[in-house]
Structure 1
Amino acid sequence: MAVWNLGSINEDRFYRVPRLPGPGETLTATRFSVGLGGKGANQSVAVAKAGSTARHIGRIGPEGAWARDSLKALGVDVGFVIQGEVPTGHANVHVDNAGENMIVIYPGANRAFELPQIETALAKARPGDFLLLQNETNLTREAAQKAKEKGLFVVYSAAPFEAGPARAMLPFVDILALNEIEAGQLSADVGVAVDELPVARLLVTRGAAGAVLHDHAAGKVHTVAAFPVDPLDTTGAGDCFVGYVVAGLDQGLSPVDALRLGAAAAALQVTRPGTSEAIPDRAEVTAFLDGIDN
């Protein structure tokens, strides 16, 4: 099986600051670095490092070949990443001494998808494959609809969150992934309780409190606790978690084991600086879990 991902690719620009700035405030960064990011790229890297086949459907600008090369070096199939004239997306990431972040995103090429590119890529997908989607690209709903027509399992991370687009995706989603705040906002918009949102499976991440999967299709609720660590940088932790969970499901793990795998991967990721490059490989995650169990 394979995990396809219509996903963003960003240049992440990291600024280490003593604290997050307030309105109108200027702070001096103590450190600066550049790396590969974007919710889509992060999730693809997590899938690949977890040991599943990750096929990324993406767009980069004329200066973005390095990002495609980085994805490939991290184990992702980049055969469906197209280079065009719109600049590569980027994110300015401010990280404070507690590991909390503040992010401003320029979508760039991530909003320049054309339907033929998506159709060409998904023509290679097989029933039972996974499709990952996030809100950092255009044509997300169209891709989800075509994926469902082909029998793919659609996982949608509704972030950055907008109630309208998220609501429009509900008929085509097999797993809807949200954090607690986003789940509350969508619940209010739809007019039902969080655990009654009309989707087959709802995955709610709760930061240090772990995560819960409401499996409405099976009539079960699965929870996982977060592993306690000292965070250095929480940027991309949710992407790492979702990518690892999907890889676990792709490999036939039970929902509980897939959630635990994702929680362990995210715990390791937040102890390192960066986003895609900070995602641990499967051997590291397995060793971490072995240490917990023993």
Structure 2
Amino acid sequence: MRILNFGSLNIDYVYRVDSFVKPGETKAAQSLSVFPGGKGLNQSLAMARAGLAVAHAGKVGKEGGFLLETLQKGGVDTRLIETSAIATGHAIIQVDDKGGNCILLFGGANQDIDEHYIDRALAGFGSGDMLVLQNEISSMASIISKAKSRGMAIALNPSPYSESILSYPLELIDIFIMNEIEAEGISGTHEPEAAASLIARSFPQARIVITLGENGSLCLYKGELVRQKAYKVQAVDTTAAGDTFSGYFLAGLVEGLSTKNALDLAARAAAICVTRKGAADSVPWRKELE
């Protein structure tokens, strides 16, 4: 199985603050760091560092070359990435003293995904391959439809959540990986198990994974519910925790691990991730888990 992650590539500007800026407030940041990021880039690194062969498709602006270098150093195939006339996508991230974060996104080149590029990116993939998606690039519905017409399995992390997700052909998705907010957006209920059941009722073919922060995660598939605890660590920065979890969970499934073991693998990787600063730089290598 070949893995194609069609996803975002961002430059992350991370500001350390004692507490998040409130409306109308001006405050001084404790520090500024610049990191490679974007949910797509983070998840490609997570899958590659978990041991999968991953190709990444997406676009950057002229200033985004170091993002490709980051992926290449992590073992990701970047030959499908193209340069856009639009500036590279970026995020302004506040990280507070408790390790929490809030994020403001500028889509940039991530929103320059057109039909011709989709066709070029998908051309080498087909039945038996997997497409991984988030919700930070344009033309999502078209990517999903074209990938499924080629026979690809599709894993979707519907993040960041927006109501546009409900217009996507979600019946074509094989694996949903989402947090409680995204699960509530799709299901209409905030209770995780109920949300999983409602989503499974609408999309019975899909594996439903919901991450629950310090309460772990759960997976519902073909009527079987599996729960996973979170490993207790001192969190420093939670920015890429969800992306690390997603990448490692998918790696576990591709390797043939059971749902329980894939969830445990993902939980251990996410626990290491939150003890480090930054997004892409905080994603652990497989050997660190073992």
Q: TM-score range by the shorter chain?
A: over 0.9
Amino acid at match of 1:204: I
**Residue 2 (structure 1) shift:** 2.0
| Matches of 2:129 and 2:259, distance apart in 1 | 17
For residues 89-139 of structure 1, the C-alpha deviation after alignment (integer angstroms, 9 at most, x for no partner) is: 000010001100111000000000112222222221132221111110011
**Residue 225 (structure 1) shift:** 0.8
Which of 216, 220, 240 does residue 214 from structure 1 map onto? 220
Residue aligning to 1:237: 241
Matches within 5 A, 1:196-275: 196-197=198-199, 198-199=202-203, 200-215=206-221, 218-275=222-279
**Number of equivalences:** 281
Residue 120 in structure 1 maps to residue 120 in structure 2: yes
Residue aligning to 1:137: 137
Residue aligning to 2:281: 277
The 8 Å contact of residues 130 and 250 in structure 1, kept in 2 or not, is answered as no
**Residue 169 (structure 1) shift:** 3.4
Amino acid at match of 2:155: V
**Residue 167 (structure 1) shift:** 4.8
Residue aligning to 1:82: 82
Residue aligning to 2:58: 58
| Matches of 1:146 and 1:115, distance apart in 2 | 10
**Residue 10 (structure 1) shift:** 0.2
SS of 1:86 mapped into structure 2: coil
The 8 Å contact of residues 3 and 47 in structure 1, kept in 2 or not, is answered as no
Normalising by structure 1, what TM-score?
0.92
| Matches of 1:79 and 1:150, distance apart in 2 | 20
The 8 Å contact of residues 140 and 168 in structure 2, kept in 1 or not, is answered as no
The 8 Å contact of residues 233 and 274 in structure 1, kept in 2 or not, is answered as yes
Structure 1: which 5+ runs fail to align? Answer: 287-294
Residue aligning to 1:102: 102
Amino acid at match of 1:78: T
Structure 2: which 5+ runs fail to align? Answer: none
| Matches of 2:91 and 2:166, distance apart in 1 | 22
The 8 Å contact of residues 158 and 166 in structure 1, kept in 2 or not, is answered as no
CA RMSD of aligned residues (A): 1.3
**Residue 77 (structure 1) shift:** 0.5
SS of 1:35 mapped into structure 2: strand
Matches within 5 A, 1:152-191: 152-188=152-188
Percentage identity across aligned positions? 40
**Residue 285 (structure 1) shift:** 1.3
The 8 Å contact of residues 15 and 30 in structure 1, kept in 2 or not, is answered as yes
The 8 Å contact of residues 61 and 109 in structure 2, kept in 1 or not, is answered as yes
| Matches of 1:166 and 1:257, distance apart in 2 | 30
| Matches of 2:118 and 2:258, distance apart in 1 | 30
| Matches of 1:220 and 1:152, distance apart in 2 | 24
Normalising by structure 2, what TM-score?
0.94
**Residue 168 (structure 1) shift:** 2.4
Q: Indicate the larger mover: 275-284 or 116-125.
A: 116-125
SS of 1:184 mapped into structure 2: helix
SS of 1:155 mapped into structure 2: strand
**Residue 282 (structure 1) shift:** 0.4
SS of 1:52 mapped into structure 2: coil
Residue 19 in structure 1 maps to residue 19 in structure 2: yes
| Matches of 1:153 and 1:45, distance apart in 2 | 20
